[in-house]
Structure 1
Amino acid sequence: MAYTALYRVWRPQTFGDIVGQAHVTRALRNAVREGRLSHAYLFNGPRGTGKTSAAKIMAKAVNCQQPVEGEPCNRCKSCEAISSGLVTDVLEIDAASNRGVEEIRDIRERVKFAPSDVSYKVYIIDEVHMLTTEAFNALLKTLEEPPPHVLFILATTEPHKLPATIISRCQRFDFHRIPLGEIVGRLRQICEAQQVEAEDQALQLVAKVAEGGMRDALSLLDQAISFGGGAVKAADILQITGAVSQTYFSTLAKFIIEGNVTAVMEQFDQIMVQGKDPEQFLHDFLYYYRDMLLLKTAPRLQEIVERTLIDEEFAQVAERYELPVLYPVIESLNQSLSQLKWSTYARVLTELTLVKLCQIAGSGASGTQAEAAPARATSAEDLVRLEQRIRSLEEKLARGVQQNVTGARPQEEGRPPARRQAASAAGRPMVQIGKLREIARQVDVALTQRVRGMWGQILAELKKVKIQHHAWLVSGQPAAASSEVMVVTFKSSIHCEKTMEPELKGIVERIIREVCGTPLQLLSVMEEQWQEAEAASAGKQDTGKQEDPFIAEALKLVGEELLEVKD
């Protein structure tokens, strides 16, 4: 005979066999015993927690010829026929593959007829959330007023996808994740019945990986029995699932708190050679520190025992970690897990994370308050020195501004101080007015119009590269373009300064070259500065023919920045 999987062999046959769902089985058993049956039930909860098994047991219980305290006897003709799947009046439907309105209409036609073999027709619709909207509408009236000989049991893992009108017509039972201790007890019972030797730690690992699902636990146990040749060992479970042992994590955590990067990297390389997945490694390591945090903050919390084996080694490692160190360690691991989904180099990112953890834990670890005191004193001294440096810089900055305003620098004695002070007070970037005037005189009108027409495309390409860069440039307006320079004006000095940083400026210039086909340098200026340059350039062009030759010669010698003409 063909081999039958454990989760099928050990499928619950009575309400008492269902593990971890006493709040559901008690209500269903009492309803059967007292004859208070509803016409429709909704079983929802995580996968592998007993929803479909409970539905089949319910179908047997309501049709059992000799029920015992609401439980099916599993010996009468009805129970045996239903268990064998030979009763046509008990129908299990997979809504994932029968989700259309035609299938539901077929059910509506069948429910009119009385059952032929048993007392109740029972329709078990699994994964009911997969039905279409039209199918739900077709089912609605039947659920509201079904014939007295029909029982509907709907099962789903996603009840939020069901229409409220469907849920309101059913008695709803929420199946919970099965506690780790109950899964381990059930696995031990099965191993004894199967005459399989199993280590306690191995069963703990199986239950942990199952994450509250009995079916997943039985499937993994079945695989472990085959792998171990009839024995279940912790090392085999670790090899099958790709997980890392708790002893390894304890050793790694010791090296991290000591700041020993070399030992940490050697330990990590060992598991990489074994073919472990970096993402799974970070996930398990995060839970290791999470359990350590709960052990230190809530030592009596039962949930800790369900995640990590609280042995002497784990407790000793936990004593070396202070809470202010655990918080950034857990946050760093969580951030790395988020980044790992978008990273091509998973191992490099994991190694970087471990080095950061060594720095975080190594710098934050302190055994006694006496050791911590010098660190605090040093921090206070550093703070005082930093305040003194800031005060000194403020004084120098104030003296420099005063010199600029009063014209103390000899080369700027001829400049009007009022305009320089106003520009500095506004906090806007200073661009040489002479350079702007020169660009204003060389504006290429046709090129300017072409750049303005392609400005939206330039911004769109920049957004593809990095959305933050797009946010800085989008408030600018292309004012003019010459053969070498494109001028973009801003009303905000912050955006103007940011767009002239080398990284962003280089990316924009590359995109301009690709979109416009012309290599142009980006020049970000304040809007009023460009308006002044345009006005000055226009005025100079109008009076250029009457320009004094002495002024022209002076311009060649010193430039416009240091020249002021008075009538």
Structure 2
Amino acid sequence: MAYTALYRVYRPQSFRDVVGQTHVTTTLRNALREGRLSHAYLFNGPRGTGKTSAAKIMAKAVNCEQPQDGEPCNQCATCRAISDGSVTDVLEIDAASNRGVEEIRDIRDKVRFAPSDVRYKVYIIDEVHMLTTEAFNALLKTLEEPPPHVIFILATTEPHKLPATIISRCQRFDFHRIALQEMVVHLKQICQEQQVEVEDQALHLVAKLAEGGMRDALSLLDQAISFSGNQVTLRDLVLITGTVSQTYFSLLAKQIAEQDIGGLLEQFHQVMVQGKDPEQFLQDLLYYYRDMLLFKTAPNLQEIVERTLIDEQFAGVASLYSLPVLYQVIEALNQALSQLKWSSQARVLVEMTLVKLCELGRSREQTPVAENTGQNVAELVKKIQILEERVNQLLQGRVTVAAATQVEETRAPQTQRRAPMGSGGSGRSSLNKVRETAQSANRALTQQLIGNWSQILAEVKKVKIQFQAWLINGQPVAASDRAVVVAFTSPIHCEKTMEPELRGIVERVIQATTGKELQFFSVMEEDWKEIEAQSSQPGEQSSEADADPFVSEALKLVGEQLLEIKE
């Protein structure tokens, strides 16, 4: 008789045999026991986690002649026939090779006929996300209101590719990756039944490489048994899978911490001689340091056990690393993995990365963090003392003109935020420029700009359409021989147009259109009306002190005798 692969021999035949999916099997057993069956189910999750096996168990359970607490008996003729695949009413369809609308229409036409051998017709559609859009549309109505004797079970690894209309018509069950400990226990039972001796570390490596899929784990175990016979060791498993042992990584990490570049490169050379893949080597080293980081920050976290065996050697190497160095090591390895995909010299890049990891610890020794922190604190304390002295001088009435100017410069950003115009060049100086433009406005030039404004907008649009969108809210209101003022009704547009890049483009376009080199200023419409009124009535114009609140504040503090205002 031909040899049967382990993953086929140990395929689950009942819900209790499904490993690591208790949340799914319990719900299905309760539904079967209480007779609360749905017409459609959606099983989704990573490969090898039991989706198709659970679907076949479900098909047996709904048709079993002697069900036992929601489980199929696997003894009656119906259960045996479904297990053998000889029941025509239980169909397993691979959507990857039967993805067209014609295949789904054929299912839709046959669904109406009653089952011939069993109680329910069960359609198991594997990899259902591979169906075409037309096939999904053909399945939609049948999936929503199938005949009472039909059950659909859809299985997929990529549920996000399914239309929402399909998902909403199914009971959805999410299959999880199988935990490493559960997988190891199950593999041990299989090894005992097969009378094979396997080292615990080898089983942990099999479970780690399977990444939560039991089918992948059984395939790797089958391959290891074929290579080693009845005694499987970690050395054999490392040899056939191309991975590197944890002991080796512990040696590398110790050499990196001790900055032993020569020994480190020699160990890496031995790995390359054995034909290991540089990218896989870097990935495994990254996971090793990731486990070390978790071990140091959260030693009780269960997830640590799922990657690395925590032993005395690992704990001893972890004590050689501080958290800042670990962060830098993981970041350097991650960057190297990203660069490796585009590099034609993978080995050289890995060697350079290993040398860089050794240099990380050395550079940190040369520039201690505490020393840099102390220097920064000293500089901050010195600056605070200078500021305190200046504040005391101001409060005592001994402020000088230079001190007043420094106060004004310090508070300039607040003035810009409160100013009614844009932040890029706004403030008291910009307001003064707007007032000067209003007082010396050239009526003919203003009318020329108003008439050419649409042309100016069109030219700005050629440079960048977003800039034209910010300007379209404004309208020229005054122009002199030196500047032009544009009034806006929206504060956002007004503020945005005073940014240096946009302002420079507008000034160049205006110069090209009018032949005059004019500065561009934006102002809110209500502010412009106030400035225009003041310009038309010079006698009632407010004083400089009233126009600027900071000058008024300085006058209150030091008096007019000690304060000199300069433009």
TM over 0.5: yes
Matches of 2:56 and 2:229, distance apart in 1: 34
CA deviations 1:103-149 (Å, max 9, x no partner) are 00100111111101000000000000000000000000001110000
C-alpha displacement at 1:260, in angstroms?
A: 1.2
Q: Any conservation in 2 of the 1:256–1:362 contact (CA below 8 Å)?
A: no
Aligned: 1:146 with 2:155: no
- Structure 2 counterpart of 1:35: 35
C-alpha displacement at 1:384, in angstroms?
A: 10
- Structure 1 counterpart of 2:282: 282
Matches of 2:375 and 2:80, distance apart in 1: 83
C-alpha displacement at 1:230, in angstroms?
A: 2.3
Q: Indicate how the Cα distance of structure 1 residues 357 and 76 shifts in structure 2: closer, same or farther if over 3 A, else same.
A: same
Superposed, 1:56-75 pairs within 5 Å as 56-75=56-75
CA deviations 1:451-502 (Å, max 9, x no partner) are xxxxxxxxxxxxxxxxxxxxxxxxxxxxxxxxxxxxxxxxxxx9xxxxxxxx
- Structure 1 counterpart of 2:239: 239
Q: Indicate how the Cα distance of structure 1 residues 382 and 110 shifts in structure 2: closer, same or farther if over 3 A, else same.
A: closer
Q: Indicate how the Cα distance of structure 1 residues 65 and 379 shifts in structure 2: closer, same or farther if over 3 A, else same.
A: closer
C-alpha displacement at 1:237, in angstroms?
A: 1.1
The runs of 4+ residues in structure 1 deviating greater than 6 Å are 378-385
Q: Indicate how the Cα distance of structure 1 residues 3 and 277 shifts in structure 2: closer, same or farther if over 3 A, else same.
A: same
Give the secondary-structure state (helix, strand or coil) at the position aligned to 2:43.
strand
Matches of 1:21 and 1:357, distance apart in 2: 41
Matches of 2:85 and 2:371, distance apart in 1: 78
Matches of 1:3 and 1:196, distance apart in 2: 16
Give the secondary-structure state (helix, strand or coil) at the position aligned to 1:92.
strand
C-alpha displacement at 1:265, in angstroms?
A: 0.7
Aligned: 1:167 with 2:167: yes
C-alpha displacement at 1:363, in angstroms?
A: 3.4
Aligned: 1:113 with 2:113: yes
Matches of 2:282 and 2:73, distance apart in 1: 49
C-alpha displacement at 1:364, in angstroms?
A: 3.3
Matches of 2:80 and 2:23, distance apart in 1: 27
Q: Any conservation in 2 of the 1:51–1:175 contact (CA below 8 Å)?
A: yes
- Structure 2 counterpart of 1:361: 361
Superposed, 1:108-507 pairs within 5 Å as 108-364=108-364, 376-377=370-371
Q: Indicate how the Cα distance of structure 1 residues 365 and 200 shifts in structure 2: closer, same or farther if over 3 A, else same.
A: farther
Give the secondary-structure state (helix, strand or coil) at the position aligned to 2:319.
helix
What is the TM-score normalised by the length of structure 1? 0.65
Q: Any conservation in 2 of the 1:257–1:362 contact (CA below 8 Å)?
A: no
C-alpha displacement at 1:74, in angstroms?
A: 0.1
CA deviations 1:36-83 (Å, max 9, x no partner) are 000000000000000000000000000000000000000001000000
C-alpha displacement at 1:383, in angstroms?
A: 12
Superposed, 1:45-84 pairs within 5 Å as 45-84=45-84
Q: Any conservation in 2 of the 1:257–1:365 contact (CA below 8 Å)?
A: no
Q: Any conservation in 2 of the 1:121–1:149 contact (CA below 8 Å)?
A: yes
Matches of 1:362 and 1:110, distance apart in 2: 73
What is the TM-score normalised by the length of structure 2? 0.65
Matches of 2:121 and 2:315, distance apart in 1: 57
Matches of 2:123 and 2:352, distance apart in 1: 55
Matches of 1:49 and 1:145, distance apart in 2: 29
Q: Indicate how the Cα distance of structure 1 residues 381 and 144 shifts in structure 2: closer, same or farther if over 3 A, else same.
A: closer
Q: Any conservation in 2 of the 1:258–1:362 contact (CA below 8 Å)?
A: no
Matches of 2:169 and 2:372, distance apart in 1: 69
**Contiguous gaps of at least 5 residues in structure 1:** 367-371, 386-493, 495-526, 528-567
Matches of 2:353 and 2:337, distance apart in 1: 10
After the TM superposition, which of the residue ranges 259-268 and 169-178 deviates more from structure 2? 259-268
Matches of 1:155 and 1:378, distance apart in 2: 58
- Structure 2 counterpart of 1:555: none
C-alpha displacement at 1:376, in angstroms?
A: 4.3
Q: Any conservation in 2 of the 1:18–1:50 contact (CA below 8 Å)?
A: yes
C-alpha displacement at 1:380, in angstroms?
A: 6.5
**Contiguous gaps of at least 5 residues in structure 2:** 380-500, 502-507, 509-567
C-alpha displacement at 1:231, in angstroms?
A: 1.9
- Structure 2 counterpart of 1:4: 4
Give the secondary-structure state (helix, strand or coil) at the position aligned to 1:320.
coil
Counterpart residue type for residue 118 of structure 2: V
